[in-house]
Structure 1
Amino acid sequence: MKIRKIAIVGGGTAGWMAANHLGVELASDPDIEITVIESKEVPVIGVGEGTVPRIKETLDRFGISEVAMLANCDTTFKTGIKFSNWMSAESGHDFYYHPFSAPFPQGFDVTDHWLSQKSGPCFSTLSESYPLSEQDRCPKRKSSPPYTGAVDYAYHFNAGKFSELIAENARRRFGVVHKFATVKDVVLREDGEIASLVFSDGSSGEFDFYLDCSGFSSVLLGGALKTPFEDRSDRILTDSALVLQEPTAEDAAIHPYTTAHAHKAGWIWDIPLTNRRGLGCVYASKYMSDVEALGELSEYVGRSLSSVDVRKIPMKIGFRENFWRKNCVAFGLAQGFVEPLEATSILVTDFSANLLAKRFPRTRGDIPRLSEYCNKIVRYTWERVIDFVQLHYCISDRRDSQFWVDCTEGAKLSEELADRLDRWSIATPKSLDFFSAFDIFGVENYLYVLYGMKYSTRAISLSETEHRRAAEIVETANRHAEKLAAELMPQRVWLTELQKQLTRAGM
């Protein structure tokens, strides 16, 4: 039987991103109807406000202009993440960057040369975006084409406005139907597939294929189909977050990066938008109370937040045993979650929604073969994402609290992460260490974190000629980066001028 009617239960970023991916791939089939069913009774989490460069390609494929993105979502540019306080005070290492530009100046891997310089600058300086970040520069020139910059970049945005933008695009461009209703019950067939949905007003809807984007509740995949959740809280110990929004002045500088500031039981995120900062204190409730977490956030902000409306979000670390079961696939929080240290929520949603769209079953008979293949890929992706997030904790030299002792000396690592770290203690990471196309984080990402946190790797002996050549390459790259930073505009100025142009154009 041909699959014609597709239901997406839940809106938000996950639901509407999935709708757009399916819209792109299935647009040529007039028989297919996609319906997003959104409940007015279920609040959207709405704190996924950081992205990685992959989002530019995705938005371009959806047919969304970058100007629309910048104009409607309080958007700012992000060239990477600044990690502060992740090492002990004794290390003399206050911060490092994980930028989006590769640490290979002129295409050369100078890591072994860098390791031999015992008192040299931080590893982040190998990225051309380092001085841009330090000077709050915009990664785009005035003349830069859409989705292209002087250095690679992603975005920070208002999650609610971003959902509205991609929702409007899905409805207008791909004819996606939008229905407001709350799912009260799920009816299954004898073979275990979902037959229909029963809504709170007594009506029902029958579809051929279902996407579960219902958040942590996972109404379809976790609830009706009882797909087990694989808990990974023994590897990522943080389980709670306190969040708030802090208004900013119209002329305040805008950092082109997310700040991740560590504390004694977790870390604080600081995401700059055009009109506010999104702040969140991530912590492990086993080691820190809500009151203590609020104190950490107050200290970071610089004033008491005891009378401020701060929202608490519980975080369940892990993923569903399978993200695709029978005629149901889950995305977003319904599929899995790991704390937002590397902006992985939207990244994994984007990746897995694109995977489904490109391998969408055209008949019910296609489901068993395609689901087995896709489940293997998504599971591998989740395992490696958790590896990368845990890396930030397990290689720290902080021991100033029981949390950091348990994250380091008591860390439970996956076999793959343990093997990689052991191998990288005797040789620096190379691209050949990442044998799968589904390693979302590759050698460049690992290099920045490993050596930003002073991971100990036995340096390979280089000849004097090799050292001299590497030093020349680094010096030339640093001069180019400084020159580039001097040429580019402050991010606040660039974005303000864009808004003035849009206003004059009546947009």
Structure 2
Amino acid sequence: MFAASKSIMHRQPQSNSNDIVNITILGGGTAGWITAGVIAAHHKKQKTNLVNITLVESPTIPIAGVGEGTWPSMRRTLKEMGISETDFLLQCNATFKQGAKFAKWVNGSDNDAYYHPLVEPSRYHAYNLANNYVNTPHSVRFESIVCPQGAVCELDLAPKNLSQREYEGLLNYSYHLDATAFASFLKKHCIEKLGVNHVIADIDQVEGTSETSITALITEKGEKITGDLFIDCSGFKSRLLGKHYETEYVSCQETLFCDRAATLHVDYDEGQTIPPYTISTATQAGWIWDIGLPHRRGIGHVFSSHHMNNEKAKQCLAKYIRRDISDIDIKYFDINPGHRKVFWKHNCVAVGLSAGFLEPLEASSLVLVEMAAKYIAEHLPKTSCVMPIVAKKFNQTFLARWEQIIDFLKLHYVLSERPEPFWEMHRNKDTWPDSLVDNLMLWKYQPPWHSDFAFVEEVFPSASYQYVLYGMQPNFTSSNNIDALECEQLMREETTKRKQQIQYFKNQLYDQRTLLNNIAKFGLPSH
């Protein structure tokens, strides 16, 4: 069948037949270019010149552009790829993100809000301040006692000033970005700076059976693109792992109920600041995200179609932005929350949407891409004989990570006291993963801590659980035998430190729009 195919060769290195040398990535969105860049930069740094990376991008399939929020790990990823932070900020229409503000998630009242910041609690690696918090009266939010970042966000201050070098700041931070511009920016960098081969073609066939390794991709023009390892970044279609290998998709709809999203772009009002955080506002049957870029706001309503129709979802958005919305301004997307049962099969591994998608809450999509790309780069099999071992470890690691993310997202819903049917359904313990049931039982008697989680590199560490748990339910954990007077004294000391830190940041930082304008004029100091 494939005898007449022409082979596309991009200076592929000569190697022993069993060596893993030629990596072929299918899909040119954010996931594909991050993966290409991370692997290429890693092997360039290691001076592993034998690795050859080819990315195949369709000229007809648009970029999904799911998610404009990132985690602080993106700073390390970009830096290790050799990308200038100044260039990234300006060319990807990026802004600084210092966490997320959750509004109306507990009871829906106007003063119902808390922050999930990106700065760890004070003394975090040596002492669990949550133990002291649960043993003292709660007059202020947990995050405001152990961390200054929520207050900095309320002041609309950026996490750094113009004197901080690239990728450094006075506070931990990540980014909001234009996903389409980001993919184009990464493409240019990977091709010009990291030597990634770029093929523009639609794939017609996959050479190989569902029980054997893939040997080549066949384009619609009959050209053959060979490889030793194939990385499926083809988005929701999952052309290789899903369609070719027919790998089972594990639905999470019985746990996470949001299955639709309505999105739109909104212009800023005159003089409106750019919030240095994601705003997540709960609705009757879902929640609204609000992300500020330099030139616009990206807003979306994630909801359950079983509890709300499209028109009602649009009405919620219109009420939120306080203006009318026309049908041409809004786009609707279906969400099938879940993931593949395995992510690496034979010589094919899925990264990004082809591996799965849950929902945009807590911006977990891109951080999983970073983690997967980093794992592949650092554990790239030397030969085909060890690939099954690497694949097994990859599958175990990432199944655990997906399950942990599901637990963490579900936590936001089960702690709510909102009366609507959507929220009542979330509080039904039959919809809770067993691991979350166990942890919530444990946390009734002791606060979340490092030892509660199995992996060293967790997607969400115990600090994230503390911020959400005590942000929504300050009294969730019962007091224990710690000396109450000692706890109160320590909390007073921490409160004093936070006030001093906040005053310092007020003196050092300015609002995000001012910082971005200054970066555009002068750039950030490089290393």
TM-score for the superposition, normalised by structure 2: 0.91
The structural deviation recorded for 1:189 is: 4.9
Residue 40 of structure 1 corresponds to 59
**1:14-413, aligned counterparts within 5 Å?**
14-27=31-44, 28-89=47-108, 93-104=111-122, 109-126=128-145, 127-189=147-209, 192-248=212-268, 251-399=271-419, 401-413=420-432
Kept after mapping to 2: 8 A contact 1:380/1:438: no
Letter in 2 for 1:15: G
The Cα of 1:116 is off from its aligned counterpart by: 4.0
SS of residue paired to 2:191: helix
Confirm or deny: 8 A CA contact 1:114 1:120 kept in the other structure: no
The aligned residue for residue 7 of structure 2 is none
Q: What are the Cα deviations for residues 131-151 of structure 1, in whole angstroms up to 9, with x where unaligned?
A: 210010011022112111111
Cα distance in 2 for residues equivalent to 1:426 and 1:108 = 17
Distance in 1, Cα, partners of 2:24 & 2:486: 63
The answer to whether structure 1 residue 487 and structure 2 residue 508 are counterparts is yes
Distance 1:465 1:364, change over 3 A: closer
Q: Is the 8 A contact 1:424 1:457 kept in 2?
A: yes
Q: Partner of 1:439 in structure 2?
A: 458
Deviations 1:266-293 (A, max 9, x none): 0000000011111111001111111111
Question: Aligned to 1:17, what secondary structure does the other structure show?
Answer: helix
Cα distance 1:166–1:250, how it changes in 2: closer, same or farther (>3 A)?
Answer: farther
Alpha-carbon deviation of 1:154?
Answer: 0.3
CA distance in 1, matches of 2:484, 2:309: 54
The 1-side partners of 2:211 and 2:487 are apart by 65
Q: Write out per-residue CA displacement over residues 208-238 of structure 1, whole angstroms, 9 at most, x where no aligned residue.
A: 2211001111000011011111111111110
- CA displacement 1:279-325 (0-9 Å, x = unmatched): 11100111111111111111111112134421111112111111100
- Aligned partners of 2:174, 2:490: CA distance in 1, in Å? 32
Report how far residue 413 of structure 1 moved: 1.7
CA gap 1:43/1:480 in 2 versus in 1, 3 angstroms:
same
| Aligned-residue offset at 1:496 | 1.1
Answer yes or no: is the 8 Å Cα contact 2:136–2:487 preserved in 1: no
Tell whether the 8 Å contact from 1:377 to 1:438 is kept in structure 2 after alignment: no
Structure-2 change in CA distance of 1:478 and 1:7 (3 Å): same
**How far did 1:364 drift?**
1.4
Per-residue displacement from partner, 1:140-176 (whole Å, max 9, x unpaired)?
0221121111110000011111112222221122210
Do the aligned partners of residues 6 and 247 (structure 1) sit closer, same or farther apart at CA in structure 2, a change above 3 Å counting?
Answer: same
Matched, 1:474 2:492: no
Deviates more, 1:437-446 or 1:144-153: 437-446
Deviation per residue, 1:328-357 (Å, 9 max, x gap): 010100011110110000001100111011
More off after superposition, 436-445 vs 275-284: 436-445
Tell me the C-alpha RMSD between the 2 structures: 2.0
Distance 1:46 1:229, change over 3 A: same
One-letter amino acid of the counterpart of residue 38, structure 2: H
For 1:468 and 1:32, the matched residues in 2 are separated by 58
1:343 match: secondary structure:
helix
Contact 2:210/2:244, CA 8 A, preserved across alignment: no
- Which shows bigger deviation, 194-203 or 378-387? 194-203
Structure 2 residue ranges without an equivalent (≥5):
1-17
Q: Partners of 1:202 and 1:286 in 2: how far apart?
A: 45
Q: Confirm or deny that 1:499 pairs with 2:516.
A: no
Question: Distance between the aligned counterparts of 1:368 and 1:345, measured in 2?
Answer: 26
Aligned to 1:13: 30
Partner of 2:434: 415
**What is the letter of the counterpart of residue 388 of structure 1?**
F
Change beyond 3 A, Cα 1:466–1:292: closer
| Mean CA deviation greater in 225-234 or 302-311 | 302-311
SS in 1 for 2:215: strand
Which whole-Å CA distance do the structure 2 matches of 1:119 and 1:190 have between them? 58
- Distance, in Å, in 2 between the alignment partners of 1:120 and 1:417 is 28
| Inter-CA distance 87–191: structure 2 relative to 1 (3 Å threshold) | closer
1:462 and 2:480 correspond = no
- In structure 2, the CA distance between the partners of 1:411 and 1:306, relative to structure 1 (3 Å rule), is farther
Provide, for residues 452-497 of structure 1, a one-character-per-residue CA deviation record: whole Å limited to 9, x for no partner. Answer: 0015110124242342233122222223223313431111111112
Q: List alignment gaps of at least 5 residues for structure 1.
A: none
Give the secondary-structure state (helix, strand or coil) at the position aligned to 1:145: coil
**In the alignment, which residue of structure 1 is the partner of 2:11?**
none
Give the structure 1 partner of residue 5 of structure 2. Answer: none
1:105–1:249 distance in 2 versus 1, CA, 3 Å: farther
Measure, in 1, the Cα distance between the counterparts of 2:490 and 2:332: 52
Q: Secondary structure at the match of 1:46?
A: coil
Residues 171 and 235 of structure 1, relative CA distance in 2, 3 Å threshold: same
Change (3 A) 1:190 1:403: closer
Q: Which residue of structure 1 lines up, in the alignment, with residue 9 of structure 2?
A: none
Shift of 1:93: 4.9
Aligned residues: 502
Shift in CA distance, 360/34, structure 1 to aligned 2, threshold 3 Å: same
Q: 1:249: Cα distance to partner?
A: 5.5
Q: CA deviation at 1:201?
A: 2.6
TM-score normalised over the length of structure 1: 0.95
Indicate the larger mover: 57-66 or 483-492. Answer: 483-492
Q: In 2 relative to 1, CA 191–427 (structure 1 residues): closer, same or farther, beyond 3 Å?
A: closer
Q: Which amino acid aligns with 2:326?
A: S
Please give the alpha-carbon distance, in whole angstroms, between the structure 1 residues aligned to 2:116 and 2:450: 17
Q: Provide the secondary structure at the position in 1 that maps to 2:182.
A: helix
> Which amino acid counterpart does residue 251 of structure 2 have in structure 1?
D
Secondary structure of 2:393's counterpart equals helix
